Amino acid sequence: MKHMKRSIWFAAAIVAALTLVNIGLTVGNSSEPAQAGSVLPVFQHESPVPSLVPMIRMVMPAVVNVSTRGEMPVQSQAYAPFLNNPFFRQFFGMSPFAQQPPQERFRALGSGVIINAQKGYILTNDHVIRHATKIVITTYNHHRYPAKVVGKDRDTDLAVLQIKAHDLHQIVFGNSARLAIGDFVVAIGNPFGLGHTATFGIVSGLGRTGVEQQDHVGTFIQTDAAINPGNSGGALVNLRGQLIGINTAILTENGGGNIGIGFAIPVNLARVVASQIIKYGKVERGVLGVLVQNVTAHLRRAFGLPPGQRGALIAQVLPDSGAARAGLRAGDIITTVDGQPVRDVSALRAIIGVLRVGTHVHIRFLRNGHPKTVVAIVGHNHKSTHREFKLGRKDIGAQLANLGRSSPLYGKVKGVMVVAVTPRSPAAKAGLEPGDVILAVDQHPISNLAEFQEAIESDHGLLLLTVQRGQATFFTTLR
């Protein structure tokens, strides 16, 4: 009996072996036996394989390469500190006041997304085109077009360009509010100038803050889809090919390469900013008029709030502000604005930071643990930074801010501080430099951005500026 079982097992093994050889010959479509070390095909017939090809082919034409040229101030010259002082300029054979700071030329590459094919509008990052004097767009079919800047917003790091072209393809907007950690995403852009490139990953985090400058408006989407230099301004899309973010920044080590932590501006924020730029040429954001802080565990206990309660705790209400007129008080905890949840200070800043002056907002808040609702009107942002101004219809080419603690002249003089100067602009020709403080316009003292705006609006094209630079004061003209 044992011998019979052994024979049956041996016969079955031989049949199985012959069957495998026969399968291999059939799949290989060859009458020759497989060579030693060769790999036998697994499937007899080719079957569909999951692929992102259809979606990527649909989206790629809506993503463009952005090439820029320009000049920016040299930061590393040994004698640069002396050139900031008009007294020392003359010793270098330079005009004390009217000479631009030393400039260096640069070339840079980035990406952009076509958001309106008919009018040629392209959305990108502000830092991609900052200091650029020439911008060229290269489309997916390798056509090149000069671009003009419609407007830009430093606080959200977004800008809108425009080209004159036909047969463009625009992207479809998604909804970044519906994203969840784990959603699949694809980043499309122009890394290292290689041309259109797609990388695949997931949403790794939401509501990230502190990625760029401290006063950045809004939060970021975090993703592990590879984002490298040149991807900035490109598209982050979902598997439907809908735009859900604008690729913006990466965390990196000393080598400067991608380590799987990239960030994108949510499309819901980008869409609002882009629409304001297209309509008004800039984002004129307002303020609610409150100083707020996050609700910590200690504060929850102190205010008698339930565990897990989130919101933005009002520490101070500024007088004559929209919040004050609506009846908000210190100690109130803002939980929603126009139905959007406010989990912390960053969320409140992201919502209010893109609203224009005069907008009515419905605010839901807690007062002594009881929910209440008020309607507030967004007011003028007299303390906003990095504002740009026009002289007549022409940009003066300088970003100005109220004099803050970052300036060594804070508390010593009154005026507005020059934050940045565009090369070859009226401000640059007037000799203005970052760090300068404008004390007066046409010999009328000014102390904030609102007063500066009023002064230049009443002017007829030629401004006499009184400027403080370090310990020196001088006059210059702006036209």
Residue ranges of the domains in the chain? 56-162, 174-266, 290-377, 387-478
The CA distances from residue 101 to 45, 81, 89, 144, 476, in Å, are 69, 11, 10, 32, 15
390 vs 143 pLDDT, higher one = 143
CATH number for the domain formed by residue range(s) 290-377: 2.30.42.10
Q: Among 128-137, 213-222, 368-377, 415-424, name the most confident range.
A: 368-377
Over residues 46-67, the pLDDT tens digits come to: 667 778 888 989 999 999 999 8
Q: Which of 56-60, 170-174, 290-294, 394-398 has the lowest mean pLDDT?
A: 394-398
Quick one: how far is CA 28 from the chain centroid? 53
Over residues 76-133, the pLDDT tens digits come to: 444 444 444 444 444 444 444 444 455 566 677 888 999 999 999 999 998 888 878 8
pLDDT at residue 303 above 80?
A: yes
Please state, for a pLDDT cut of 70, what percent of the chain lies above it.
73
CATH 2.30.42.10 fits domain 387-478: yes
- Number of residues assigned to the chain: 479
pLDDT at residue 7 above 50?
A: no
User: What is the pLDDT averaged over residues 382-391?
Assistant: 50
pLDDT (0 to 100) of residue 369 = 85
Average pLDDT, the chain: 76
User: What is the pLDDT averaged over residues 374-381?
Assistant: 84
The set of catalytic residues is 127, 157, 232
Give the single-character DSSP code of 157.
Answer: T
Over residues 132-175, the pLDDT tens digits come to: 888 999 998 889 999 999 988 888 889 999 999 888 999 999 99
pLDDT (0 to 100) of residue 130 = 82
**CA torsion sign, 103 to 78 to 435 to 88?**
negative
Residue 84's region, left for phi above 0, alpha for psi from -120 to 50, else beta, is: alpha
pLDDT at residue 177 above 60?
A: yes
pLDDT (0 to 100) of residue 253 = 56
pLDDT (0 to 100) of residue 39 = 54
How many whole angstroms separate alpha carbon 285 and alpha carbon 218? 13
pLDDT (0 to 100) of residue 84 = 47
376 vs 99 pLDDT, higher one = 376
Burial of 143 (0-12, 13-18, 19+ CB in 10 A): middle
pLDDT at residue 5 above 80?
A: no
How many whole angstroms separate alpha carbon 50 and alpha carbon 274? 35
pLDDT (0 to 100) of residue 320 = 78
pLDDT (0 to 100) of residue 45 = 57
How many whole angstroms separate alpha carbon 146 and alpha carbon 66? 10
pLDDT (0 to 100) of residue 69 = 83
Domains 56-162 and 387-478 are alike in CATH topology: no
* Number of Cβ atoms within 10 Å of the Cβ of 336: 19
pLDDT (0 to 100) of residue 424 = 73
Q: Which two tokens stand for residue 120?
A: 């040629």
pLDDT at residue 382 above 60?
A: no
How many whole angstroms separate alpha carbon 156 and alpha carbon 160? 12
How many whole angstroms separate alpha carbon 22 and alpha carbon 45? 16
Q: How confident is the model at residue 1 (pLDDT cuts 50, 70, 90)?
A: very low
Burial of 325 (0-12, 13-18, 19+ CB in 10 A): middle
Q: Which fold has domain 174-266?
A: Thrombin, subunit H (2.40.10)
Q: How confident is the model at residue 250 (pLDDT cuts 50, 70, 90)?
A: low
Please state, for a pLDDT cut of 90, what percent of the chain lies above it.
20
pLDDT (0 to 100) of residue 172 = 92
Q: Among 18-32, 46-60, 456-470, name the most confident range.
A: 46-60
Class of domain 56-162: mainly beta
pLDDT (0 to 100) of residue 105 = 67
Residue 352 contacts residue 378 (beta carbons within 8 Å):
yes
